[in-house]
Amino acid sequence: MPEKKLEIKLLSKTDSGLSLIYAAFRQCYSAGFVGDIWDDLVSGKIEKEKQAEFIAKILESGHESPIEHVSFTFAVQGVSRALTHQLVRHRIASYSQQSQRYVDESDFDYILPPSIAKIPEAKVEFEQCMQTIGKAYRNLKRILQDNGLGKKANEDARFVLPQACESKVVFTMNCRSLLHFFELRCCERAQWEIRKMAWKMLKILRQELPVIFAVAGPKCERLGYCPEGEKFTCGKFKVRG
| Confidence category of residue 26, pLDDT binned at 50, 70, 90 | very high
CA 219 – CA 25 distance, rounded (Å): 24
Burial per residue of 27-57, b for 16 or more beta-carbon CB atoms within 10 angstroms, e otherwise: eeeeeeebeebbeebbeeebeeeebbebbee
SS3 165: strand
For 166-210, what is each residue's pLDDT tens digit? 999 999 999 999 999 999 999 999 999 999 999 999 999 999 999
Q: What mean pLDDT comes out for the span 13-42? A: 97
For this structure, is 176 an active site residue?
A: no
Closest CA to 173 of 84, 68, 16, 18: 68
33/71 same-domain check:
yes
Task: Determine, yes or no, domain membership for 52.
Answer: yes
- Residues 188 and 158 both lie in one domain: no
Asked if the structure places residue 240 within a domain, the reply is no
Other Cβ atoms closer than 10 A to 113: 16
Q: Is residue 151 part of a domain?
A: yes
The boundaries of the domain holding residue 151 are: 103-164
Residues 2-12 pLDDT 10s: 778 999 999 99
φ, ψ (nearest 5 deg) of residue 15: -65, 145
Residues 155 and 180 in one domain: no
216 pLDDT band, cuts 50/70/90, is: very high
Same domain as 203, residue 186: yes
Tell me what pLDDT residue 33 has: 97
Residues 154 and 171 in one domain: no
pTM surpassing 0.95?
A: no
Is 208 inside any structural domain?
yes
- Mean pLDDT across the stretch 20-46? 97
Domain count, the chain: 2
Residue 232 belongs to a domain:
no
Same domain membership, residue 157 and residue 173: no
pLDDT at 234 over 90: no
Give tens-digit pLDDT for 52-97. Answer: 999 999 999 999 999 999 999 999 999 999 999 999 999 999 999 9
- Mean pLDDT of all residues in 136-150: 96
Specify whether 59 is located in the same domain as 24: yes
**pLDDT confidence of 1, banded at 50, 70, 90?**
low
Pair (182, 141) in one structural domain = no
Active-site residue, from 26, 81, 176, 185: 185
Q: What confidence category does residue 241 fall into, taking pLDDT thresholds of 50, 70 and 90?
A: low
Domain assignment of residue 207, yes or no: yes
- Assign 115 a pLDDT band (cuts: 50, 70, 90): very high
In a domain, 229, yes or no: no
Is 189 contained in some domain?
A: yes
Q: Residue 31 maps to which CATH number?
A: 3.30.1360.170
Mean predicted lDDT score pLDDT of the chain: 95
Is the pLDDT score of 160 beyond 80? Answer: yes
65 lies in the same domain as 172: yes
Residues 62 and 175 in one domain: yes
Give the span between the Cα atoms of 63 and 71, in whole angstroms.
17
Which amino acid belongs to residue 55? I
Please check whether residues 15 and 56 belong to one and the same domain.
yes
Within this chain, do residues 60 and 178 fall inside the same structural domain, yes or no? yes
- Mean pLDDT on 35-62: 96
